[in-house]
Amino acid sequence: MLKQSSNKSSTHIERPTTPDGRYAMLAEMSDEDLMSYFQAGTVEAFDLLVNRYKDPLTNYIYRFLGDMKECEDLLQETFLRVYRNRHSYRRIAKFSTWLYTIAGNLARSEYRKRKRRRLYSLQSMNREEEEFELEIPDETFSPDRHTESTIQDRYIQEALKLIPEEFREVVVLRDVQQLAYEEIAEITGLPMGTVKSRINRGRTKLQALLKDVYSPHPMPS
């Protein structure tokens, strides 16, 4: 843990003496404390952060891009950037917010590269999607309610790929990753009102695409 030294102007990190004891102690720490240890040179702290976030990040990036190979590449790049840029992290921010911001920037960049490669087909798709943009947001559908079913999960993923990036990202962060609106606003750099509006519009689009697959369910608060 972090311990204040006798010199009030500095801090030092107290480490346990045995490898097993050190790992057990680290495993009980918060993300932010692990980053402090990692910044001080404890590589095991980084390994624990990777283990904590590799599955949630895989889910997030895959939902965003819909391609597992690209997902694996971006997951590796995300953690590589965390490793390289560890000293730029400050405890004033939640580690998860900082991490998802890195992953989100990479995913958006990759999506835009793909969009340029598929310009004509995506323009056509977006024109078809315009008919949904003026619908009143319907809070009767939550995509993450059905992820336990492999078949249903595939339908959700295909539908997510059909909605515009700006709606897909916030819906995934809210309904799949279960992040708070405030954290989503920090990750995306969007005002809170825009985040909520895009989530509602994204849900509306998903409901329209999946109306023949699911019957409505009440939205979580």
Residue % of the chain over a pLDDT of 90: 45
- Average pLDDT on 180-189 reads 93
Query: Could you tell me the two tokens for 35?
Result: 């980053």
Q: Indicate whether 140 and 199 sit together in one domain.
A: yes
Domain end point (choices 117, 144, 178):
117
- How sure is the predictor about 110, in pLDDT bands with cuts at 50, 70 and 90? confident
pLDDT given at position 80: 96
Higher pLDDT, 129 or 75: 75
Angle at 139 between CA 136 and CA 141, to 5 degrees: 120
Quick one: CA torsion of 126, 130, 131, 135, rounded to 10 degrees? 130
Length of the chain: 221
Quote the radius of gyration of the chain (alpha carbons, Å).
Answer: 20
| Total number of domains in the chain | 2
Least confident range from 15-24, 61-70, 185-194: namely: 15-24
pLDDT given at position 105: 92
Query: Could you tell me the two tokens for 205?
Result: 């689009």
pLDDT given at position 143: 42
The per-residue pLDDT of the chain, averaged, comes to 76
CA atoms within 13 A on the CB side of 28: 6
Rounded-to-integer distance, Cα 114 and Cα 19, Å? 45
The CATH number assigned to the domain holding 125 equals: 1.10.10.10
Domain end point (choices 93, 117, 141):
117
Q: Indicate whether 158 and 169 sit together in one domain.
A: yes
Q: Is residue 88 a part of any domain in this protein? A: yes
Q: Indicate whether 68 and 133 sit together in one domain.
A: no
Higher pLDDT, 18 or 99: 99
Domain that holds residue 39: 15-117
Angle at 94 between CA 93 and CA 97, to 5 degrees: 100
pLDDT given at position 210: 82
Q: Indicate whether 27 and 43 sit together in one domain.
A: yes
Q: Identify which of 124, 75, 63, 80 has the alpha carbon closest to the alpha carbon of residue 103.
A: 75
Rounded-to-integer distance, Cα 200 and Cα 208, Å? 12
- How sure is the predictor about 95, in pLDDT bands with cuts at 50, 70 and 90? very high
The CATH number assigned to the domain holding 91 equals: 1.10.1740.10
3-state SS of the chain is CEEECCCCCCEEECCCCCHHHHHHHHHCCCHHHHHHHHHCCCHHHHHHHHHHHHHHHHHHHHHHHCCHHHHHHHHHHHHHHHHHCHHHCCCCCCHHHHHHHHHHHHHHHHHHHHHHHCHHHHHHHHHHHHHHCCCCCCCCCCHHHHCCCHHHHHHHHHHHHHCCHHHHHHHHHHHHCCCCHHHHHHHHCCCHHHHHHHHHHHHHHHHHHCCCCCCCCCCCC
Q: Indicate whether 88 and 139 sit together in one domain.
A: no
Higher pLDDT, 73 or 119: 73
Angle at 155 between CA 151 and CA 158, to 5 degrees: 135
In tens, the pLDDT along 42-84 reads 999 999 999 999 999 999 999 888 888 899 999 999 999 999 9
Domain end point (choices 60, 90, 117):
117
Residue 206, pLDDT above cutoff 80: yes
Q: Identify which of 133, 156, 134 has the alpha carbon closest to the alpha carbon of residue 214.
A: 156
Query: Could you tell me the two tokens for 151?
Result: 């078949």
pTM listed for this prediction: 0.66
- How sure is the predictor about 8, in pLDDT bands with cuts at 50, 70 and 90? very low
> Of the ranges 19-23, 128-132, 139-143, 166-170, which is most confident?
166-170
Q: Indicate whether 49 and 94 sit together in one domain.
A: yes
Q: Indicate whether 137 and 57 sit together in one domain.
A: no
pLDDT given at position 214: 53
